[in-house]
């Protein structure tokens, strides 16, 4: 069973629909016991970094997230959900992220002719091997919607990158049982479904 964390932060239904399409037993919940018992956990998200962290604290979800991560449960952050896994964001100064991994979220810099937010299809390159991308050729296209991007402290955790203007975006990360996608796999056609299917094949570590 895969638990999708419900903290009023958008795009939950589309993630749930994609998992159900893949035949996965899926629960959208903020019930701590259900999240703790799940085989895999997904933290989706659309919206502002600070608002999202406030809701995670309000619903008492920060501690349960840390617990399932520490127990080795495969954990996937999508879009804002991935950004929240890191330490801080330009979007919300003074707000601490979950700090599950080292890195910061930066604003995509303005450039002549560059539209922000970055919306639409963009191709991926793979600086490091990633289990989410098994069977997916390099330069495959996925769907992005964001104005801020990850700069991970450890380049070794970055499994996919995309270029937007002169900015190199850390588009996906993997470290142990932690995974993140800046793009939306649930909106990325067959490539995205394969990414989600690869995540669903993972099991608890340890």
Catalytic residue set: 79, 184, 186
Instruction: Tell me how far apart the alpha carbons of residues 142 and 76 are, in angstroms, rounded to a whole number.
Output: 16
Long-range pairs for 163-172 at CB < 8 Å and ≥24 separation?
A: 163/122, 164/108, 164/114, 164/118, 164/122, 165/108, 165/109, 165/111, 165/114, 166/109, 166/111, 167/108, 167/109, 169/108, 169/118, 170/103, 171/124, 171/142, 171/144, 172/124, 172/130, 172/132, 172/133
26-29 and 2-5: which strand pairing? parallel
């Amino acid at each position: 069973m895969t638990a999708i964390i419900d903290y009023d932060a958008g795009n939950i239904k589309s993630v749930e629909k994609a998992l159900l399409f893949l035949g996965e037993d899926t629960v959208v919940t903020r019930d701590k016991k259900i999240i703790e018992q799940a085989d895999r956990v997904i933290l989706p998200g659309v919206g502002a970094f600070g608002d999202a962290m406030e809701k995670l604290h309000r619903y008492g979800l920060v501690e349960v997230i840390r617990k399932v991560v520490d127990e080795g449960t495969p954990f996937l952050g999508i879009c804002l959900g991935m950004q929240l896994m890191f330490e801080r964001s330009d979007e919300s100064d003074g707000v601490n992220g979950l700090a599950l991994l080292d890195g910061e979220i930066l604003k995509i810099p303005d450039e002549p002719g560059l539209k922000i937010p970055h919306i639409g299809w963009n191709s991926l390159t793979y600086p490091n091997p990633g289990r989410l991308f098994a069977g997916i050729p390099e330069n495959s296209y996925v769907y992005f919607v964001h104005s801020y991007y990850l700069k991970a402290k450890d380049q070794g955790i970055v499994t996919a990158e995309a270029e937007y203007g002169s900015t190199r975006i850390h588009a996906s990360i993997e470290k142990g049982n932690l995974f993140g996608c800046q793009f939306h796999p649930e909106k990325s056609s067959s490539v995205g479904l394969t990414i989600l299917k690869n995540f669903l094949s993972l099991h608890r570590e340890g």
